[in-house]
């Protein structure tokens, strides 16, 4: 966490429910998610594909996919203001200026028929009006800030003329052009090779140190969590089942799902053996069990796990877990 910026909560999510209303039934993709994010902090949101990570981010941005998705309950407090109550016009002013998002695939984030300069200048003009020459200077400075070489030339190029790593940096430049207090990064390194991934993570940490913005970093890679994050929230079947400081989660995970995820990460030391796997499948989000949602895959399941969903237990300072077998602090 950036020194001098601790303690002040910039984003607080309370009991967020976002469901898909389909002909076949209701898909409870985000079903009671709560967490907070402090200024200068990086919070990792991890879990298997389909657990609700990206839909949580889209719910915060009020950018839900068309076709029945709707936030039915909860609060998203940005600097104390519930942005779920804002009108669409008011949200357009909030996005980019106060909260922004980097999507996981830069190829689909950038418009292929407009130059990089056009798209970056448009984002800057959304924040403030200025002469075209000044906008161009600011666009060049934004590209230079994300370490793109020859930024003046890049402004005239189209997305297909740039590599994946370059496009991801451009998307990052657009996202931070409004100097937001919260940046949501949705698996921004998934499409990058390992070398470029490391460079991009270092870039994000540097930008955070310079601006003091808080980052919600969505990933399925615990290696990235260890490098980037101050705290981590583990999500499973629409709920956050464990949340705490990265070191505590890595050294003493409490929820069986968290332990299984960490155990499945390949070890770089010791003899090479079979990788640990998590048997079974997550429950259908259209037919969720009344008890613990991990019960069908848990080696330590008891009858009470099947009968009711466990309360959230305070394991240690800032460390919580939803499990019947966890001992309170």
**Which helix H or strand E contains 164, and what residues bound it?**
helix 164-176
C-alpha–C-alpha distance, residues 162 and 149, integer Å:
12
C-alpha–C-alpha distance, residues 322 and 315, integer Å:
10
Percent of the chain with pLDDT over 70: 98
C-alpha–C-alpha distance, residues 57 and 3, integer Å:
26
The top-level CATH class assigned to 9-98+180-322 is alpha beta
**pLDDT at residue 281, rounded to an integer:** 92
**pLDDT at residue 275, rounded to an integer:** 78
How do residues 252-264 score in pLDDT, each as one tens digit?
999 999 999 998 8
**pLDDT at residue 120, rounded to an integer:** 93
Tokens of 242: 């464990």
Of residues 5 and 221, more confidently modeled: 221
Q: Is 299 exposed, middle or buried (0-12, 13-18, 19+ CB in 10 A)?
A: exposed
**pLDDT at residue 3, rounded to an integer:** 42
Burial 248-270 (b: 16+ CB within 10 A, else e): bbbeebbbbbbbbbbeeeeeeee
**pLDDT at residue 56, rounded to an integer:** 97
pLDDT band at residue 1 using 50, 70 and 90 as cut-offs: very low
**pLDDT at residue 7, rounded to an integer:** 59
How far CA 313 is from CA of 50, 71, 195, 243, 322, in Å, comes to 25, 26, 39, 10, 6
How do residues 159-176 score in pLDDT, each as one tens digit?
999 988 889 889 999 998
**pLDDT at residue 2, rounded to an integer:** 42
Taking residues 132-152, report their average pLDDT. 90
Mean of all residue pLDDT scores within the chain:
91
**pLDDT at residue 4, rounded to an integer:** 42
pLDDT band at residue 5 using 50, 70 and 90 as cut-offs: very low
Taking residues 119-134, report their average pLDDT. 85
C-alpha–C-alpha distance, residues 218 and 17, integer Å:
18
Q: Is 153 exposed, middle or buried (0-12, 13-18, 19+ CB in 10 A)?
A: exposed
- Does the structure show a pLDDT above 70 at 277? yes
**pLDDT at residue 116, rounded to an integer:** 95
Q: 7, 6, 8, 59: which is closest to 29 by C-alpha?
A: 59
How do residues 10-54 score in pLDDT, each as one tens digit?
999 999 999 999 999 999 999 999 999 999 999 999 999 999 999
Tokens of 67: 């076709």
Q: Where are the domains of the chain?
A: 9-98+180-322, 111-179
Pairing between β-strand 69-78 and β-strand 9-22 as defined by DSSP bridges = antiparallel
Of residues 319 and 108, more confidently modeled: 319
pLDDT band at residue 75 using 50, 70 and 90 as cut-offs: very high
């Amino acid at each position: 966490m950036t020194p001098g910026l601790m303690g002040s909560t910039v984003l607080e999510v309370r009991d967020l429910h976002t469901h898909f209303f389909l002909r076949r039934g209701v898909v409870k993709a985000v079903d009671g998610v709560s967490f907070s994010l402090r200024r200068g902090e990086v919070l990792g949101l991890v879990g298997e594909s389909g657990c609700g990570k990206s839909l949580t981010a889209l719910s915060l941005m009020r950018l839900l996919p068309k076709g029945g998705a709707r936030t039915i309950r909860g609060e998203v407090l940005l600097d104390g203001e519930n942005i779920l109550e804002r009108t669409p016009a008011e949200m357009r002013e909030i996005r980019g200026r106060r909260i922004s998002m980097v999507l996981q695939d830069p190829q689909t984030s950038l418009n292929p028929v407009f130059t990089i300069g056009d798209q970056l200048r448009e984002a800057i003009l959304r924040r403030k009006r200025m002469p075209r020459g000044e906008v161009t200077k600011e666009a060049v400075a934004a590209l230079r800030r994300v370490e793109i070489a020859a930024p003046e030339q890049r402004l005239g190029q189209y997305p297909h003329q740039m590599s994946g790593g370059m496009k991801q940096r451009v998307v990052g430049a657009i996202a931070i052009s409004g100097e937001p207090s919260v940046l949501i990064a949705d698996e921004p390194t998934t499409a990058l090779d390992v070398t470029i991934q490391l460079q991009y993570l270092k870039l994000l940490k540097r930008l955070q140190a310079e601006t003091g913005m808080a980052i919600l970093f969505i990933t399925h890679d615990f290696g990235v969590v260890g490098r980037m994050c101050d705290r981590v929230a583990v999500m499973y079947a629409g709920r956050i089942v464990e949340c705490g400081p990265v070191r505590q989660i890595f050294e003493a995970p409490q929820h069986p799902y968290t332990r299984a995820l960490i155990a499945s990460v390949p070890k770089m030391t010791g003899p090479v053996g079979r990788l640990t796997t998590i048997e079974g499948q997550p429950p259908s989000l259209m037919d969720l069990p009344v008890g613990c949602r991990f019960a069908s895959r848990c080696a330590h399941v008891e009858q009470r796990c099947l009968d009711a969903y466990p309360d959230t237990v305070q394991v240690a300072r800032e460390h919580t877990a939803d499990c019947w077998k966890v001992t309170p602090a």
